[in-house]
Amino acid sequence: MHIIITALSFFFMYFLTICWFYIIRLNRCNLTERCCEVLASVLSSNSSRLTNLDLSDNDLKDSGVKLLSVGLAKPECKLEILRLSGCLVTVDGFTSLNLAVASKHSHLRELDLSYNHPGDIGVKLFSKALKKKSNTLQKIIMEPKGENWIKPGLKKYACDLTLDPKTAHKHFSFSRSNRKVSRKQMSVLGERVD
């Protein structure tokens, strides 16, 4: 993991000195909260021209978003669009982001926080942020949201099913409290074979 962070640090620091990136898409790159410290330093760098950053579908969690928020609140940060969709962010991360967005130095116009769990507090914070006239924020995406989106990987898409044997086809049999289905073996004459 340390190698990834070092490589990411080198990438940003080297390339930002020789050319200016306006858009960086790092979605689904297996980044974690540890990478956010490097990203925050890039955002607050005088040489950074970054205006659009996509970190969607990385496990940044609240701790990573808190680190990122430090860079967002700096006057050198020029970021206008930030995508954090599916980054396992909860109320704590939303609170940190709200403070960064409320900063007088913030240039953020669009913020994607979908597929996270803001809770009622997070929703209220950003609803108020949109209403402030001094704020540059014009668009916040928070739907879908909920506790089920805080599970890492594919677990967030899993759900428990119970099947109804009364509505099933006659060739299916049920077991394990109507949670497992198997096909009945049938003879040529259509009778059940045991």
CATH of the domain at 54: 3.80.10.10
Q: In this structure, are 129 and 179 located in the same domain?
A: no
Check residue 17 and give its pLDDT: 45
Q: In this structure, are 54 and 103 located in the same domain?
A: yes
Give 37-81 pLDDT, tens digit per residue. Answer: 888 888 888 878 889 999 999 989 999 999 999 999 999 999 999
Classify 127 as helix, strand or coil: helix
* Listed ranges 86-90, 135-139, 167-171, 176-180; the one with the highest mean pLDDT: 86-90
Mean pLDDT calculated for residue range 149-171: 71
Q: In this structure, are 176 and 127 located in the same domain?
A: no
Q: How far apart are CA 172 and CA 182, in angstroms?
A: 6
Q: Confidence class of residue 168 from pLDDT cuts 50, 70 and 90?
A: confident
Q: Residue 17: CB partners within 8 Å, gap ≥ 6? A: 47
Q: In this structure, are 52 and 130 located in the same domain?
A: yes
Q: In this structure, are 144 and 175 located in the same domain?
A: no
Q: Residue 23: pLDDT above 50?
A: yes
Number of domains in the chain: 2
Q: In this structure, are 124 and 177 located in the same domain?
A: no
Q: In this structure, are 54 and 112 located in the same domain?
A: yes
- Predicted TM-score (pTM) of the model is 0.71
188 vs 160, more confident: 160
Q: In this structure, are 96 and 146 located in the same domain?
A: yes
Q: In this structure, are 114 and 133 located in the same domain?
A: yes
For residue 194, the enclosing domain spans 160-194
Q: What is the number of H-type helices and E-type strands within the chain?
A: 5, 7
Q: In this structure, are 59 and 87 located in the same domain?
A: yes
Q: Residue 174: pLDDT above 50?
A: yes
Check residue 134 and give its pLDDT: 66
Q: In this structure, are 25 and 103 located in the same domain?
A: yes
Check residue 12 and give its pLDDT: 58
Q: In this structure, are 123 and 183 located in the same domain?
A: no
